[in-house]
Amino acid sequence: MIDAIGIVAFVVALLVSVTLHEGGHFLTARRFGMKASKFFVGFGPTLWSRTRGETEYGVKAIPAGGFVKIEGMTQLEEIAPVDLDRAFYRQPAPQRAVVLAAGSFMHFVLALIVIFIVVVAAGVPKLSQNTVGGTSCVPVTVSDSGPTSCVGTAAAPAKVAGIQPGDRVLSFDGAAVTSWTGFTSQVRDHGPGVATIVVRRGNQTLTLRPDLVAVKRDRATGGPGDDTVGALGIFQGTETIHYNVVTAVPQTFRIIGDGVTGTYDALVHRVGDLRNLFNNKRDPNGLVGVVGAARAGGELLSAQGQSVGDRIASFALLVAGVNLAVGLFNLLPLFPLDGGHLAVLGFEQLRQGLRRLRGYRGATQRVDLVKLLPATYAVVAVLVVVSVLVLSADIVNPIRINQ
């Protein structure tokens, strides 16, 4: 039930994002005197519409996007003679650039506002250097592809000894624990046998004595290897860092910076992962479609072991991340994306500037968009194929957040 609520909430958030995107185009076009004749949310058959002034507003049946029709977006369109002076392509280049970029700008603004609110209201989870996230099985060996098997069916030494999620490890065999990396190194170096761990649990300081088991690892890194080392069976926890409205500003931009880097990485370096969409090697940080993102939203809102506030915060950050990714993707210099229109506009102005340096004082020579149609069709075809592949993978081989 909660999964379904999360999916519906994500769809609603997506429609709000689409409306704001198109609203950016619409409001800036109207501000500069251009004629916007249609403003619709969705595609396909019209469910409802109403004309106010010179604009028809409406909702269509398929909630997968939206559009604003600005008269004269290209020279290829036929428009009424009375609207020629208000045609998009006849307006000054700076105004056209603002209108084209306004959609992505709205995504960025929405992402910034949502992230800022989450940072102030809920804080930001950060890997702790001494907090236990939980206990887990102890694989006998590990390989590059992951753990192979656990030691029989016995519980992890940490669980048997009474270590609990949220415990703060103060010392291991008398040595203070100051970093998780150092702690795990101490555990490996100890080898099998009883160790002494002092933890802080609430207002109590407890001394626990887990019986470490022997496993095969690389002693230095903890990765695949043939050294016999000790294992405890715990994983690193997180702690929430809280910010006020002032200190939240740089943290918000750091998160946005990480989001930009992640989006760039997904679009540039993870394209090859398309071949793994339908197997168990699918990259959880790779490409995901609307269905996959909606499913993730449902999982985040239904996550067990988290407070309602934490779940809502995680969901909000997902929505912010999607907006950031969509805004950046839309600025790629490819037709028919807004970034493609911006690239053509920039090329026209650059060429005009060079011609003026040579003494030319005539009108700006427009790019012949007919010559770009084959490239546009190719881009659309690629986008459709990739979208269908990702959509299919989201259905039959979804990325799971809550494992």
Q: Tell me the DSSP string of 262-316.
A: HHHHHHHTSGGGGGGTTSTT--TTS---HHHHHHHHHHHHT-TTS-HHHHHHHHH
Kindly state the average pLDDT of the residues 24-42: 94
Kindly state the average pLDDT of the residues 220-249: 88
- Whether residue 22 lies in the annotated active site: yes
> Band of the pLDDT at 204, cuts 50, 70, 90?
very high
Spatial separation of the C-alpha atoms in residues 74 and 72, rounded to whole Å: 5
**Selected residue with higher pLDDT from 149 and 95:** 95
Q: pLDDT tens across 348-360, in order? A: 999 999 988 888 8
**CA distance between the termini of the chain:** 18
Under 8 Å CB-to-CB from 213, ≥6 apart: which residues?
Answer: 138, 151, 157, 192, 230, 231, 233
Q: pLDDT tens across 312-339, in order? A: 888 899 899 999 999 999 999 988 899 9
Residue 247 has pLDDT above 80, yes or no: yes
Residue 8 has pLDDT above 50, yes or no: yes
- Count other Cβ atoms within 10 Å, centred on residue 113: 13
Residue 147 has pLDDT above 70, yes or no: no
Backbone angles phi, psi at 214, to 5 degrees: -90, 130
Residue 287 has pLDDT above 60, yes or no: yes
Q: pLDDT tens across 38-78, in order? A: 999 988 899 999 999 999 999 998 877 889 999 998 777 88
- In this structure, of 12-16, 86-90, 193-197, 280-284, the range with the lowest mean pLDDT score is 280-284
Two tokens at 180? 């998780």
> So what CATH class is 126-240?
mainly beta
pTM listed for this prediction? 0.79
22, 54, 71, 239: which one is catalytic? Answer: 22
> What residue ranges do the domains of the chain occupy?
1-123+242-403, 126-240
Residue 376 has pLDDT above 50, yes or no: yes
> Band of the pLDDT at 163, cuts 50, 70, 90?
very high
